[in-house]
């Protein structure tokens, strides 16, 4: 970690509502597929985002849930009417970068160009201000905190890009578990939710962990964060996770195949339960007092 960098945790108490978020990308764009599906092929592959997003929006409407949708610029440029439908239903539009490139694979200038282009594109399509950003695969860590400075410079108000866990592909275990302000920029970092038991920090804010673990355990962990820590939870998922019939990518190693496909057939049902068991709002609304 940078020397003398302070991470003051912000006073954001749980007031009955949690933050729901969707990373809008398709199955062939995830980091694990990078060695199997070349980016140059993306335009020629059938995109399944639209059909999955319609189901998600209907589910949220039925549950009375509002969310933040972190859009890839690549996806937004292909489905502008879908972006506008998301806005019309009261959800927040935020940035996921243009084409799912990891921040630690970009120079400062490349990152600046990427997030500036994506922010302008999303604002033009949606007609709303874009204040939030989430890095591809949570790829901001102790080695590239300069990215938070650039996010502030380009008009972003918050990021949800640092996962305070140890993981083989991402994570920054020493970061706070809950929302904090970075340096002098004023930018707020809002981590995805984790729970602690006897010093063990366990992810409970979505993704593969939610698919793998029993729903009852996930519900218990999120409830614990609300009642014991008195903090709102931040939950995320991807549209491809409700799509068990997505094309299978050949020649994946066992770990990648397990992580990507485990319990896809159960995910939509679990998500529908989650949407109704808790109150959910967009991140900009849940954290309005500190933004």
Per-residue model confidence (pLDDT) at position 199: 82
| pLDDT confidence band for 4 (50 / 70 / 90) | very low
Q: What is the CA radius of gyration of the chain?
A: 18
Q: How many CB atoms lie within 10 A of CB 18?
A: 23
Distance from C-alpha of 123 to C-alpha of 107, rounded to nearest angstrom: 24
**Mean pLDDT for the stretch of residues 62-67:** 98
Per-residue model confidence (pLDDT) at position 171: 64
Please report, for the chain, how many H helices and E strands are present, in that order.
10, 11
Q: Which of 76-85, 190-199, 254-263 has the highest mean pLDDT?
A: 76-85
Ramachandran class of 66: left when φ > 0, alpha when ψ lies in -120 to 50, beta otherwise? beta
Per-residue model confidence (pLDDT) at position 2: 47
Per-residue model confidence (pLDDT) at position 161: 97
User: What is the rounded end-to-end Cα distance, in angstroms, of the chain?
Assistant: 25
Return mean pLDDT, the chain: 94
- Angle at which helices 108-126 and 80-88 cross, to 10°: 70
The pLDDT of residue 5 is above 50? yes
Distance from C-alpha of 8 to C-alpha of 1, rounded to nearest angstrom: 15
pTM of the model: 0.95
Give me the long-range contacts of 106-109 (CB less than 8 A, separation at least 24): 108/146, 108/150
Q: CATH assignment of 18-286?
A: 3.20.20.370
**Mean pLDDT for the stretch of residues 261-268:** 96
Report pLDDT digits (tens) over 146-190: 999 999 999 999 999 999 887 666 668 889 999 999 888 889 999
What are the residue ranges spanned by the domains of the chain?
Answer: 18-286
Per-residue model confidence (pLDDT) at position 168: 60
Minimum mean pLDDT range among 52-61, 100-109, 246-255, 276-285: 246-255
Burial label, 196 (beta-carbon count in 10 A; 0-12, 13-18, 19+) = middle
Per-residue model confidence (pLDDT) at position 167: 66
- Angle at which helices 80-88 and 49-63 cross, to 10°: 0
Distance from C-alpha of 22 to C-alpha of 83, rounded to nearest angstrom: 13
Q: How many CB atoms lie within 10 A of CB 223?
A: 14
Report pLDDT digits (tens) over 50-64: 999 999 999 999 999
CA distances to 68, 96, 124, 289 from 119, in Å: 15, 9, 9, 23
**Sequence-ordered alpha helix ranges (H) in 105-167:** 108-126, 146-153
For the chain, what percent of residues have pLDDT higher than 90? 84
């Amino acid at each position: 970690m940078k020397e003398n960098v302070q991470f003051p945790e912000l006073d954001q108490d749980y007031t009955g509502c949690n933050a729901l978020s969707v990373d809008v990308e398709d199955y062939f764009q995830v980091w694990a597929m990078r060695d199997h599906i070349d980016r140059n092929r993306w335009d020629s592959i059938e995109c399944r985002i639209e059909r999955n997003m319609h189901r998600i929006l209907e589910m949220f409407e039925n549950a009375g849930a509002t969310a933040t949708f972190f859009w890839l610029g690549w996806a937004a440029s292909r489905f502008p009417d879908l972006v506008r439908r998301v806005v019309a239903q009261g959800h927040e539009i935020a940035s996921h970068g243009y084409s799912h490139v990891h921040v630690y694979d970009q120079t400062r200038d490349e990152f600046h160009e990427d997030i500036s282009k994506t922010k302008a594109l999303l604002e033009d399509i949606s007609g709303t201000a874009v204040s939030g950003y989430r890095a591809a695969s949570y790829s901001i860590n102790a080695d590239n905190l300069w990215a938070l400075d650039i996010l502030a410079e380009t008009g972003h108000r918050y990021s949800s890009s640092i996962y305070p866990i140890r993981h083989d592909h991402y994570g920054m275990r020493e970061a706070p578990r809950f929302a904090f302000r970075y340096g002098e920029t004023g930018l707020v970092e809002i981590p995805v939710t984790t729970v602690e038991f006897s010093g063990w920090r366990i992810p409970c804010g979505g993704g593969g962990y939610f698919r793998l673990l029993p729903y009852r355990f996930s519900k218990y962990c999120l409830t614990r964060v609300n009642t014991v820590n008195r903090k709102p939870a931040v939950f995320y998922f991807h549209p491809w996770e409700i799509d068990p019939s997505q094309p299978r990518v050949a020649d994946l190693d066992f770990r990648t195949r397990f992580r990507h496909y485990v319990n896809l057939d159960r995910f939509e049902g679990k998500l529908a339960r989650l949407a109704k068991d808790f109150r959910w709002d967009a991140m900009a609304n849940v954290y309005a007092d500190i933004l």
